[in-house]
Amino acid sequence: MPELGVVCGGLALKNPVIAGSGEHTMTAGGIRAALAAGAAAVVAKSVNENPAARAQLDGTDYLLLDSQWRPLPWDFAPPPDASLFGRSGLMQRDFDSWMEELAGLDAEAARVGAYVIPSLILADLDAAAGMAARIAGYGLRALEFNIGAPHGPEAAAGAIITERAAARVHEITARIRAATPLPLWIKLTGQSEDVGALASAAMDGGADAAIVMGRFLAMVPDLETQAPMLGTSGAIGGAWSLPLTCRCLAQARARCGPGFALLGTNGARSGEDVARMLLAGATAVEMTSAVMAGGFAVVSDAVAALDAYLARKGGDAQGLVGLAADRLQGYGAQAPRPGFWRQFVPPEAR
């Protein structure tokens, strides 16, 4: 049996598959189902102090789209290339009762060698630091802090912050680092020119890991109604996101070095995709859309597929981390191939 365990951002994980934060981790039932499916960690639905961020949950709507941007049925059996487009809000529970419940669930998780991780999303930094400072007191064992949620620009002013500036990432991370002794994972936006610089800023600010990378804001015109689908912009991600995430992981690894843990999120749909993100530099992978749209068996299938991949290729999960990233070359390293381009051009244009 290949070794699936990894050490990631201050936690020993029994495998690299994490159920990422979303609507399916908003209830005890969802969290227990993810644990039962074998997730090494479950990141609970995020909370913050802002009433507008909570109110936004009542305006949620989601669409699964095929590769031609046609809506698919939400039947928990989407094709692997479905994109999830939509808008979401934050947990409507009050912070203390949610942390209390999560601490109980984390104690259950510990019995199966797993973790339940609370998540905060940045609105006001003082308020976030205050909440972060209280999390260890509930007995919880780690904190994920999302400063890259895509909905920031569309949310009510100040309700959800999408932080793009490296200097601010450093400042915010240092503030939360000072507030909690727990392993601290900072979740970053992908809507930045230099995600590697953001990861490096999180590392310098004292994070134990950076999560690369949040989804993108999008608008999808509907050919029939000639209006935007769902009426607004929304966040989008799909299988197509994976290569974009992998490049940013590789950039972050080059910038931070192999000693700093990265987690992948945005585009993983299978155990093979988990392996791809590990090869790109992640030590663990958060899967959200695939689980929300496909059900919790996605988690157990991913663990089994990763296991099968390792059995076929040899080695262990930790050993995969960064193998492809460290072989990434610049265009200049490729041998010249004069005239080779012609075979990719329609014959009459050669």
Ligand X SMILES: Cc1cc2nc3c(=O)[nH]c(=O)nc-3n(C[C@H](O)[C@H](O)[C@H](O)COP(=O)(O)O)c2cc1C
Calculate the CA dihedral of residues 140, 145, 149, 153 and round it to 10 degrees. Answer: 120
- Residues between 205 and 244 with contacts to ligand X, criterion CB under 6 A: 215, 237, 241
Q: How far apart are CA 279 and CA 103, in angstroms?
A: 33
Q: How far apart are CA 144 and CA 46, in angstroms?
A: 9
Q: How far is the CB of 334 from ligand X (least distance, A)?
A: 31
Task: Mention every residue, 6+ apart, whose C-beta is less than 8 A from residue 21.
Answer: 43, 44, 45, 46, 119, 144, 146, 286, 288
Indicate the residue type of 299.
Answer: V
Q: How far is the CB of 293 from ligand X (least distance, A)?
A: 8
* Candidate residues 17, 41, 46, 247; the one interacting with ligand X per rule CB under 6 A: 46
154 binds ligand X (CB under 6 A): no
- Give Cα 108 distance to the centre of its chain: 23
Q: Map residues 175-194 to x or -, x wherever contact with ligand X holds by CB under 6 A.
A: ------------x-------
83 binds ligand X (CB under 6 A): no
119 binds ligand X (CB under 6 A): yes
Q: How far is the CB of 265 from ligand X (least distance, A)?
A: 4
Q: How far apart are CA 175 and CA 205, in angstroms?
A: 8
Q: Cite the DSSP H helix spans in 112-187.
A: 125-135, 166-179
Please tell me the count of residues contacting ligand X according to CB under 6 A.
28
Q: Which span sits near ligand X by CB under 6 A: 31-39, 168-176, 226-234, 285-293?
A: 285-293
Q: How far apart are CA 304 and CA 34, in angstroms?
A: 15
196 or 238: CB nearest ligand X: 238
Other CB atoms closer than 10 Å to residue 16's CB: what's the count? 30
* Candidate residues 48, 192, 251, 265; the one interacting with ligand X per rule CB under 6 A: 265
Q: Which residue has the tokens 């075979």?
A: 343
* CA nearest neighbour of 39 among 315, 253, 290: 290
173 binds ligand X (CB under 6 A): no
Q: Map residues 17-36 to x or -, x wherever contact with ligand X holds by CB under 6 A.
A: ---xxxx-------------
120 or 310: CB nearest ligand X: 120
- 3-state DSSP call for residue 269? coil
Q: How far is the CB of 214 from ligand X (least distance, A)?
A: 6
Q: How far apart are CA 244 and CA 206, in angstroms?
A: 26
Asked if omega into 292 is within 30° of 0 (cis), the reply is no
92 or 319: CB nearest ligand X: 92
Q: Which span sits near ligand X by CB under 6 A: 75-83, 127-135, 265-273, 301-309?
A: 265-273
151 binds ligand X (CB under 6 A): no
Q: Which span sits near ligand X by CB under 6 A: 1-9, 98-106, 223-231, 264-272?
A: 264-272
Q: Which span sits near ligand X by CB under 6 A: 15-23, 27-35, 105-113, 193-201?
A: 15-23
Q: Checking phi first, is residue 281 left (phi over 0); if not, alpha (psi -120 to 50) or beta?
A: left
* Candidate residues 146, 173, 192, 283; the one interacting with ligand X per rule CB under 6 A: 146
84 or 179: CB nearest ligand X: 84
- 3-state DSSP call for residue 104? helix
Q: Which span sits near ligand X by CB under 6 A: 67-75, 128-136, 260-268, 334-342?
A: 260-268
* Candidate residues 33, 35, 82, 84; the one interacting with ligand X per rule CB under 6 A: 84
* CA nearest neighbour of 83 among 71, 91, 98: 71
Residues within the interface to ligand X (CB under 6 A): 20-23, 45-46, 62, 84, 86, 88, 119, 121, 146, 149, 187, 215, 237, 241, 265-268, 286-290, 292
